[in-house]
Structure 1
Amino acid sequence: MWYVVAIVVTALLSVALMPKPPAPKPAALEDFEAPTAEEGRPIPVVFGAVLIRGANVVWYGDLAAEPIKKKSGKK
């Protein structure tokens, strides 16, 4: 019977002393690989279906980070 109590106590201690994981940081615009428009950047020449990361485009719109201020799920 004492071994059951010892197992429960050690399990509770291990959960209580477990280190907390760090909070994840929110994604920023730098984390995404959006196409860019830069003067003087070389234009790759490819044949067939090829994935080009960070393609060079003429115009891509006005990108801006807007924080979400509305809380949902609670009434």
Structure 2
Amino acid sequence: MDPYTWAYMAIMVISAYVSYKNRPKTTTPKPVAFQDFEFPQFSEGTPQCVFFGDCWTPDWMVLSYGNYRTTPIKTKGGKK
């Protein structure tokens, strides 16, 4: 191989090393807490309508919302 090939390879290795060292550091995101959800609430005296199934309405509010778990789901994993 000619000498220029070794120079190009050295520049490539140095460039890869500098790129690796200057990459942005990753941070793990904070898990979502129940307080982070913003559900619209009704006002006192607002008329209420009841829907069963999937429905679309132009004006909606949330009177109640599902049974959200506050404990982690634990599963048994691994090889059998």
Following TM superposition, by how much is the alpha carbon of 1:24 offset from its aligned partner in structure 2, in angstroms?
0.9
TM-superposed CA distance for 1:31, in Å, is: 3.1
User: In percent, how many aligned pairs have the same letter?
Assistant: 31
2:14 corresponding residue in structure 1: 9
Shift of 1:23: 0.8
Residue 57 of structure 2 is matched in structure 1 by 49
Compared with structure 1, are the counterparts of its residues 12 and 65 closer, same or farther at alpha carbon in structure 2 (3 Å cutoff)?
same
Secondary structure of residue in 1 paired with 2:57: coil
Q: Structure 2-normalised TM-score?
A: 0.48
**1:1-75 maps to which residues of 2 (within 5 A)?**
1=5, 2-34=7-39, 36=41, 40=44, 42=46, 49-50=57-58, 52=60, 55-57=61-63, 59-60=64-65, 63-70=68-75, 72=77, 74-75=78-79
Pick the structure with greater CA Rg. 2
Alpha-carbon distance between aligned partners in 2 of 1:24 and 1:71, rounded to the nearest angstrom:
25
Measure the CA separation in 2 of the matches of 1:71 and 1:24.
25
The runs of 5 or more residues in structure 2 that have no matched partner are 49-55
TM-score, with length taken from structure 1: 0.50
Paired letter, 1:23: T
Aligned 8 A contact 2:39 2:62 in 1: no
For structure 1, which runs of at least 5 residues remain unmatched after alignment?
A: none
